[in-house]
Amino acid sequence: MILSPEQLELAGARVLMRVDFNVPLDKETLLPTDLTRIRAALPTMEYVLNAGASLVLCSHLGRPQGAAEDRFSLRHVVSSLESVLNRKVRFVSDCISKEALEASADLQPGSVLLLENVRFHAGEESGDPEFAAQLAKHGNCYINDAFGTAHREHASTATIARFYPQQKAAGFLMKAELDQATKVLNNPSRPFTAIMGGAKVSDKLLLIENMLSKVDRLLIVGGMAYTFCKAMGGEIGASLCEDDRVETAKALLTKAAEMGVELVLPVDSVAADAFSNEAPRQVVDNHRIPPGWMGLDLGPESIRVMRDRVANSQTLLWNGPAGVFEFSNFQEGTRAMAQAVADATRLGAFSLIGGGDSAAAVHAFGLEDQVSYVSTGGGALLELLEGQVLPGVKALEVEL
């Protein structure tokens, strides 16, 4: 079983907590531009501190390749963390140095220490037991609240749990993420509609295959839709297409039909003659896209078709944008999908937004409070929905 923080003896304890503070930083000031992940960890941090424990936080930031780089230093998030926690946070410029270990040993109940980026050590990503053992010296309890990295078998997310046979738990964010995904996978209200977007079929292949046995309908949007269009014999111009996945797409279309799953593809697109926000645009039939033109967004008829299917749903899973939504001229499809999901939620549907670009989209359009749950983990949620075991979750299991 996996414990929760309430099941740990926290009074007077020193808790090492893995958080996901991999936040975007401003290129000039190097200050965080989005505090969503920091705020997401707040309930667990506050609970630990209010229970009379001291708190040692560890996280990664970016991909520094096992060596220290200032642009990836967690010192840049200290002031933001202090504002969210509303208390002073001490920072040490390494995570396993003598200074760091002395700093954590000196902590008093209610005090907070932030360790430097764990990925400044090559042992983090390799899952090195010696590095994990050093990290484990920072606490007599371990809590993992970093769902966004739960699919990584790294030292601070998986290996370290071995050093806490009983005194380890999933944080409140981790538990919420697992509960929401389980609700969608195992007990959905019907009709259950999954919206799969993004660029490549290959990125979502396992997810699509696993979800076909669970959903009533599957809406395919984004760049990956053109591989399906080509599989159906359509002329897709210069649209994104994985030619080596065309046969796979044909097989998925056949499988969906055999299983009685309604697989819905876009019927038209807003196309451009170049991958640019300023490129000339026209609405085209998805099976007759002119040579040299590429579909970059859902067309108006596709939006209507998709919106109708979303409206008639009781459970919704959305993973991946419907177009190149970072271009203002090609974001209408993604905006329409986000709004349709929000509208259905208001009418009683349960909606799970699958991290990554989907989460970015609902935040960009100001709809995050109008859906049921926005996941903080793109890759982790993806693997969970694919039916895979997450190493960071498996490592938290205890035998009582």
Taking Cα atoms as reference points, which of 361, 385, 370, 363 lies closest to residue 218? 385
Question: Cβ–Cβ contacts within 10 Å for residue 236, how many?
Answer: 23
- Quickly state the pLDDT bin for 387 (edges 50, 70, 90): confident
In this prediction, residues 298-322 reach a mean pLDDT of 96
Identify the active-site residue in 62, 110, 234, 379: 379
**Mean pLDDT of the 180-193 span:** 93
pLDDT digits (tens, 9 = 90+) for 121-157: 999 999 999 999 999 999 999 999 999 999 999 999 9
What is the share, in percent, of the chain residues with pLDDT greater than 90?
A: 88
pLDDT at 205: 84
d(CA 33, CA 311): 34
Q: Containing H/E element for 374?
A: strand 373-374
**pLDDT confidence bin for 206, thresholds 50/70/90:** confident
Is the fold of 5-175 the same as that of 188-385? yes
pLDDT for 355 beyond 80: no
Within 95-242, residue ranges assigned H as helices are 98-105, 122-126, 129-136, 172-186, 201-211, 225-231
User: What does the pLDDT read at residue 343?
Assistant: 98
Q: Pick the catalytic residue from 127, 222, 356, 378.
A: 356
Q: Is 200 considered catalytic here?
A: yes
CATH code matching the domain that covers 5-175, chosen among 3.40.50.150, 3.40.50.1260, 3.40.220.10, 3.90.180.10: 3.40.50.1260
How do 281-285 and 294-298 pair as beta strands? unpaired
What would the pLDDT profile of 33-78 be if each residue is shown by its tens digit?
A: 989 899 999 999 999 999 999 999 999 999 998 999 999 999 999 9
What is the structure's pLDDT at 228?
95
DSSP per position, 233-294:
T-EETT----GGGHHHHHHHHHHHHHHT-EEE--SEEEEESSSSTTS-EEEEETTEEPTT-E
Tokens of 212: 């076909």
37 is catalytic: yes
Rg of the chain taking only CA atoms, in angstroms: 23
State both tokens at 135.
């990290």
Averaged pLDDT for residues 89-118: 97
Which residues contact residue 183 at a Cβ distance below 8 angstroms, ignoring those fewer than 6 apart? 350, 352
> Residue 187 CA to chain centroid, in angstroms?
21
Name the residue ranges covered by the structural domains of the chain.
5-175, 188-385
pLDDT in tens, 250-279: 999 999 999 999 999 999 999 999 999 999
**182-190 average pLDDT score:** 92
pLDDT at 353 over 90: yes
Asked if 91 contacts 114 with a C-beta cutoff of 8 angstroms, the reply is: yes
Task: Please say if 348 is a catalytic residue.
Answer: no
Catalytic residue among 75, 183, 200, 255: 200
Taking residues 218-237, report their average pLDDT. Answer: 95
Q: What is the pLDDT of residue 324?
A: 94
Q: What is the pLDDT of residue 198?
A: 86
At the second CATH level, the architecture of 188-385 is 3-Layer(aba) Sandwich (3.40)
What average pLDDT is seen over the chain?
95
Which of 222, 223, 196, 224 is CA-nearest to residue 210?
196
Give the pLDDT score at 129: 98
* Per-residue confidence (pLDDT) for residue 204, from 0 to 100: 86
Name the packing angle between helices 172-186 and 378-385 (round to 10°).
40
Mean pLDDT to the nearest integer, 359-377: 92
Mean pLDDT of 236-247: 94
38-65 burial string, b = 16+ CB within 10 Å, else e?
bebbbebbbbbbebebbbbbbbbbbebe
Query: Of 398, 392, 355, which Cα lies nearest the Cα of 375?
Result: 355
Does residue 139 have an active-site annotation? no
pLDDT at 378: 80
